[in-house]
A and B are shown apart, each in its own frame.
Chain A
């Protein structure tokens, strides 16, 4: 049992029956209109008869320890709490879409009718009152479970080792479920200074050369 500071949602694939109750429960609790899926369930078939099975995964925000979205937001609409929750503040969101482009898990969703981006915020309005998140409350089989103490029931679960606060015990390799492997880190921070340098350096050199070519000591009109 690996302990980490902060809340945890644990998804156990073998219990998921693809009923979509978590999706609808999340939308109702978090004022998301139809079509804006803060949580989504995908399924695929694996194996062969007689071991053929339909398996599913319920995905929402992974609440990374080092979130790309927080690093990306220019409006202060995303912040990471000390309990691990990466909270989206709708009142500050300008809808620029940069977090949508930055998240390596493709979690944030545009909600044009609501004029902001939308993302799972761990149902802070419920957990701060001692209740479980809506998805956990609605899951009929217990495939989604809430662990406020941060103890993951399965140290091998996808995301456990990397400090995600939404971890997955799946019935096959993560790639099969279209989950990125290895578990991505902060994409925005990774190597960013080099990217700046890679543009500024050649740019400055060329501009310096142009500047020299145009210095008043060069031949020109009197």
Chain B
């Protein structure tokens, strides 16, 4: 059976989650003073809209009738996670683009047509409002992808741990993306304290990921139909799950971040890349394994 959803959907799930996480990172990091936190916040602010737009493009590309994508905004089907997701994505995209624009330097922002000037004068307020509105939206976006799959009829996807798993992965990948961008732009000394903060945050985030990944595995195993293999233990999906998603994407980063006071930037950067790769493999394996 050729799968209905493939690569484009896996990419969409990944980039939507990443956008949600990057947005949250931006809002949270913006609470702290300091150049490093400022760099983190800015990185997240620009990464989120770019990522969500790319994710939406992937989603639209996957439609058999691409030019009809806007039909989803003429309907509000409360029972459909796909419908709610379309609205959430759209609203979140709008908020994150606006938030990103607000992060532009003053002179640049003033030149944005329509409200640019007015917003430039009240930047802080706008950022606060958009941030407050955006975080719940981001949370909902990160969860909806999991709900979408888990209320379908495919037994592998109907897994209660999926929404939480996707949510935690969204946060880890979003934070990782923002951190990597900030490491490029921020001065090394300024990044010390943010990196420390990120490390301790990641211990919690990755532990959550691990917990939900294991819970997902157990439930998937219990859920398998008679005679069918559990795809987390066989084939390329099984290999990628343990080696890629759990091993490289969660355990190795945890190990890399386990050191004492000072952790090399290179090690942290490597850990962030691994988290990104693992996050993408997570979506890939789950999308394909469910339809096998």
Contacts and interface: CB of A to CB of B under 8 A. Distances in A.
> Is there direct touching of A and B in the complex, by C-beta distance under 8 Å?
yes
Interface string B159-195: 0111110111001000000000000000000000100
Interface residues of B, number: 62
Nearest to B165: A199
Contact of A102 (B151, B163, B171): B151
A204 interface: yes
A216 B32 contact: yes
Interface string A202-222: 111011011101111010111
A189 B139 contact: no
A102 B85 CA distance: 15
B71 A92 contact: yes
A203 B72 contact: no
Given A94-B71, A94-B72, A213-B200, A195 B154 contact: no
Interface stretch (B75-83, B259-267, B271-279): B75-83
A213 to B, nearest CB: 7
Nearest to B160: A198
A221 B32 contact: yes
Interface residues of A, number: 56
Interface in B187-237: 193, 197, 200-201, 204-205, 208, 212
B153 A187 contact: yes
A75 B168 contact: no
Contacts of B162: 195, 199
B143 A196 contact: yes
A188 B208 contact: no
A97 B5 contact: yes
Interface in A154-196: 184, 187-192, 194-196
A96 B157 CA distance: 17
A27 interface: no
A94 B63 contact: yes
B21 to A, nearest CB: 10
Interface of B: 4-5, 24, 28-29, 31-35, 37, 62-65, 68-69, 71-72, 74-75, 77, 79-83, 85-86, 135, 139-140, 142-143, 146-154, 157-158, 160-164, 166-168, 171, 193, 197, 200-201, 204-205, 208, 212
Top 8 closest A-B pairs, CB basis? A95-B64, A199-B163, A199-B143, A221-B34, A74-B83, A74-B82, A71-B79, A75-B71
Interface of A: 68, 71-77, 92-98, 100-104, 106, 110-112, 115-117, 184, 187-192, 194-196, 198-200, 202-204, 206-207, 209-211, 213-216, 218, 220-222
